[in-house]
């Protein structure tokens, strides 16, 4: 059994452009090796061959120099959940079977999933709203891997993928955006309908099939065929900025019409986090969300945005258990979570 070490804080948690509202921007490229069955059709030997071939290519890629490669299938269930919580692997990769893994590089801002739905999922993530830089890094890695791997590509259809919805560019771009004011003013449904009408998808904090938590929404493109990468990125960036404007307008409305109630929500969250003795994961995330809103609205300056972002990850179940050195039951997790957040707010 391979043990995943406790990793340093991801660089993308430190805050970037429009960071008070947009947590991160992510670009993912789906690629497959020519002449090899897609992962779901491959037997263990075929998956092992894809893994080893990809591992060698990653080791030769300058942009992934020093990347740590983890055989996810050889890790514990706790370590797999730990990687999911850090947005390094998808829930599907964590729950999959056979040889599979993740290459982690550059402060967790670049990574490559191996043998998920596709043979390779190249990922680049940046703090805040910064899709252009995320794309540049992913594209550079793609070029380096393409130079040594024979990727499945059709002049007619583009990159061939296990799911037809990824065929073409293979590009999935997304922003993880915090929208508490739109939730409080009950405008969120209207905004989400508008997002769907322009062909974008709305998902939970950890991507497809996950629930919305802490007022965080993942907005991503759905079309990869018949559109170029610049067009896809430009469209998502424009919509993200429109959503930002809606969130800022909703914040102004709340501060004008219900400032006292908003202040109470923010400072009540600060008080609970500073004094709690047990706290569940969902409640902690909800309270951290309230403080992020308070920072964004200019109501509180006692906490640092980067520290709040890190708390959202550090208070998740697998992270608490990794730091404790083993599995904890729910009561123990809630106690240790409270201990952790009290330490942050008392310092």
Question: What are the tens digits of pLDDT across the range 41-68?
Answer: 999 999 999 999 999 999 999 999 999 9
Q: Give the domain extent around 269.
A: 259-346
Give residue-wise pLDDT tens across range 237-263: 999 999 999 999 999 999 999 999 999
pLDDT of 18: 95
Domain boundary among 224, 250, 276: 250
Q: Is 91 exposed, middle or buried (0-12, 13-18, 19+ CB in 10 A)?
A: middle
**Pair (52, 165) in one structural domain:** yes
Confidence of residue 111 (pLDDT cuts 50, 70, 90): very high
Confidence of residue 192 (pLDDT cuts 50, 70, 90): very high
User: String of b and e for 261-273 (b: at least 16 CB within 10 Å)?
Assistant: ebeebbbebbebb
Residue 192 structure tokens: 């989400």
> What CATH number has the domain bearing residue 53?
3.30.590.10
Residue 151 structure tokens: 């990727």
Residue in 212, 325, 317, 311 with CA at minimum distance from that of residue 269: 311
Chain length of the chain: 347
**Pair (240, 275) in one structural domain:** no
Give residue-wise pLDDT tens across range 154-185: 999 999 999 999 999 999 999 999 999 999 99
181 neighbors 247 (Cβ within 8 angstroms): yes
Give residue-wise pLDDT tens across range 221-243: 998 988 999 999 999 999 999 99
SS3 state at 221: strand
**Pair (239, 340) in one structural domain:** no
Confidence of residue 208 (pLDDT cuts 50, 70, 90): low
**Pair (21, 110) in one structural domain:** yes
Confidence of residue 207 (pLDDT cuts 50, 70, 90): low
Domain membership flag for residue 3? no
Residue in 175, 302, 297, 197 with CA at minimum distance from that of residue 247: 297
- What global pTM score does this model have? 0.93
Mean pLDDT confidence for 207-219: 80
Q: Which residue carries 């258990």 as its tokens?
A: 321
How many domains are contained in the chain? Answer: 2
């Amino acid at each position: 059994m391979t043990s995943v070490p406790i990793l340093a804080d991801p660089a993308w948690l430190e805050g970037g452009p429009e960071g008070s509202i947009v947590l991160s921007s992510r670009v993912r490229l789906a690629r497959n090796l020519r002449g090899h069955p897609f992962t779901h059709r491959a037997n263990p030997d075929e998956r092992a061959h894809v893994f080893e071939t990809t591992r060698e290519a990653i080791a030769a890629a300058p942009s992934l120099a020093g990347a740590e490669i983890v055989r996810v299938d050889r890790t514990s269930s706790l370590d797999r959940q730990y990687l999911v919580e850090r947005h390094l692997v998808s829930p599907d990769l964590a729950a999959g079977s056979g040889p599979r893994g993740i290459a982690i590089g550059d402060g967790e801002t670049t990574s490559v999933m191996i043998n998920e739905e596709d043979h390779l999922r190249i990922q680049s993530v940046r703090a805040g709203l910064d899709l252009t830089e995320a794309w540049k890094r992913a594209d550079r890695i793609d070029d380096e891997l393409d130079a040594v791997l024979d990727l499945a590509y059709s002049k007619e259809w583009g990159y061939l993928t296990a799911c037809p919805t990824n065929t073409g560019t293979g590009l999935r771009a997304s922003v993880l955006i915090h929208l508490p004011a739109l939730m409080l003013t009950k405008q969120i449904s209207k905004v989400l309908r508008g997002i769907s009408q322009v062909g974008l998808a709305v998902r939970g904090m950890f991507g497809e099939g996950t629930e919305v938590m802490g007022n965080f929404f993942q907005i991503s493109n759905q079309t990869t065929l018949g559109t170029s990468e610049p067009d896809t990125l430009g469209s998502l960036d424009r919509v993200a900025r429109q959503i930002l404007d809606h969130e800022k307008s909703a914040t102004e409305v709340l501060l004008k019409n219900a400032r006292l109630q908003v202040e109470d929500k923010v400072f009540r969250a600060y008080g609970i986090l500073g004094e709690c003795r047990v706290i569940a994961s969902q409640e902690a995330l909800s309270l951290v969300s309230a403080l992020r809103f308070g920072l964004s609205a200019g109501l509180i300056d006692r906490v640092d945005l980067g520290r709040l972002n890190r708390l959202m990850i550090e208070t998740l179940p697998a992270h608490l258990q990794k730091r404790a050195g083993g599995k904890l039951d729910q009561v123990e997790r809630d106690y240790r979570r409270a201990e952790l957040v009290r330490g942050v707010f008392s310092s």
